Amino acid sequence: MLADAYGYRDFKMIEGMIPVLGTVGLILIVLEGALELEVSKEKLPIILKGFLAALIILLLNIVCLSFLLQWMLSMGLNESVIYAIPLSIISSAVAIPSAANLLKQDKEFVVYESTFSDILGIMMFNYVIRQLSGHQPLISTTSLINLILQIIGVVVVSILITYLLYRLLQSITHNVKFFLILSLLILVYAIGKYFHLPALVTIFIFGVFLSNAKVLLPNFMRQYLQIDQTEKSLHDFHILTAESTFIVRTFFFLFFGFSVVISDFITVEPFIYGLSILATMLLIRYLYLSVSNLSFKPIGLLYLSPRGLISILLFLQIKELNFINYRSIAIDERVLLIVILSSMIVLIFGTMKKTKVKEVPIANELDSVNAEEA
């Protein structure tokens, strides 16, 4: 808006950079989230809980939103599913930092749930696109078996890539080595995308195995690695990944803001669609958390479901699909932006409410202590 007021209206070059920054940011977000995960026998219950929450809530969101879009906008089944998936994915890049003040168990749940939501959502989106572009049914036994076999193959290849990059990381003595590792990961992702493989699984597995090499890597691989001596390098690599993710994410949203035209929001329809979508997703999340925790009282985890970069990036990919006429569909960037901003507002008010609740017992405890001293 400010740029337009000063006469700067041609942002074609910036708009062309948005998909590139989004792809790099996507890789970095998944890698950062994977590096955050700590795998151990003690954490298996919370890992399973986070995975089931991400999977079930994601599937319920996709099903309910697809029906909502078909009923509200008379969209076809295929189009409604494609648009429902990006809207259903939780942004781990926003959710994880926002959970810093939660209890340790809740914070770990948010880390696992949001990270798995990113991975599963992107895999489902790519799967649906591949099925529809090949004029195949959304769900079929053959396609699901092929997907499972692809994931198993990618997991095996990812372990080998992790081992090779780990050896490379500890062998390079030069100061400049972390960006080389990131460049190789981007290359691996590009190769996987070219062959229509779930390439993000490779990034995810690399990050998980890199941060949990002592636990996850097989013994015949660990004996050739100097894991203890490489821990400082891994810590530095984690910091560099987090800072790079922050920079890329910041410029992505900055450039995306140039493509938003304020005058497009003068109609009320985008607000109705966006708020209806958000209300549906919050209701689904509330019901799942209530049933899984055997309590229908709203908890802090209810509000920690923001949408962000991944939703925008997948929406941009929809524009490139030749079997969907996105111009004739009312769910566009305006609705997406409303869903993202409103989910952020819910997150802010939810965390503020949680902070106030936590402050009350502390104040009461101080009052009781003062009374006893008196």
Question: Does residue 291 surpass a pLDDT of 80?
Answer: yes
Element (H, E) at 33: helix 12-36
Contacts 24+ apart (CB under 8 A), 40-45: 40/212, 40/215, 43/108
Angstrom distance (rounded) from CA 287 to CA 205: 31
Confidence of residue 230 (pLDDT cuts 50, 70, 90): low
Mean pLDDT rounded to a whole number for the chain: 78
pLDDT at residue number 342: 92
Q: Which of 262, 223, 274 is nearest to 65 (CA)?
A: 274
Residue pLDDT, tens place only, 128-178 = 888 888 778 878 788 888 878 877 887 788 778 777 877 777 777 666 677
Q: Are 204 and 30 in contact (CB under 8 A)?
A: yes
- For residue 110, count other CB atoms closer than 10 A to its CB: 24
User: Would you list the DSSP string of 70-83?
Assistant: HHHH---HHHHHHH
Angstrom distance (rounded) from CA 209 to CA 11: 41
Confidence of residue 229 (pLDDT cuts 50, 70, 90): low
What share of the chain in percent tops pLDDT 90?
Answer: 11
Question: Does residue 356 surpass a pLDDT of 90?
Answer: no
Question: Does residue 298 surpass a pLDDT of 50?
Answer: yes
Residue pLDDT, tens place only, 68-89 = 999 988 888 888 899 999 999 9
Question: Does residue 372 surpass a pLDDT of 50?
Answer: no
pLDDT at residue number 362: 42
Q: Which residues of 336-369 are buried (b: 16+ CB within 10 A; e: fewer)?
A: bbbbbebbbebbeebbeebeeeeeeeeeeeeeee
Of 299 and 336, the structure prediction assigns the larger pLDDT to 336
Q: Are 48 and 331 in contact (CB under 8 A)?
A: no
Question: Does residue 226 surpass a pLDDT of 80?
Answer: no
pTM: 0.80
Residue pLDDT, tens place only, 134-144 = 778 878 788 88
pLDDT at residue number 174: 67
Question: Does residue 284 surpass a pLDDT of 90?
Answer: yes
pLDDT at residue number 296: 67
Q: Give the architecture-level CATH label for domain 2-373.
A: Up-down Bundle (1.20)
Residue pLDDT, tens place only, 104-121 = 788 888 888 888 888 888
Confidence of residue 357 (pLDDT cuts 50, 70, 90): very low
Question: Does residue 90 surpass a pLDDT of 50?
Answer: yes
Angstrom distance (rounded) from CA 292 to CA 184: 41
pLDDT at residue number 130: 82
Rg (CA), the chain: 22
Give residues with Cβ within 8 angstroms of 250, minimum separation 6.
Answer: none
Question: Does residue 254 surpass a pLDDT of 60?
Answer: yes
pLDDT at residue number 280: 93
User: Would you list the DSSP string of 122-143?
Assistant: HHHHHHHHHHHHTT--SS-HHH
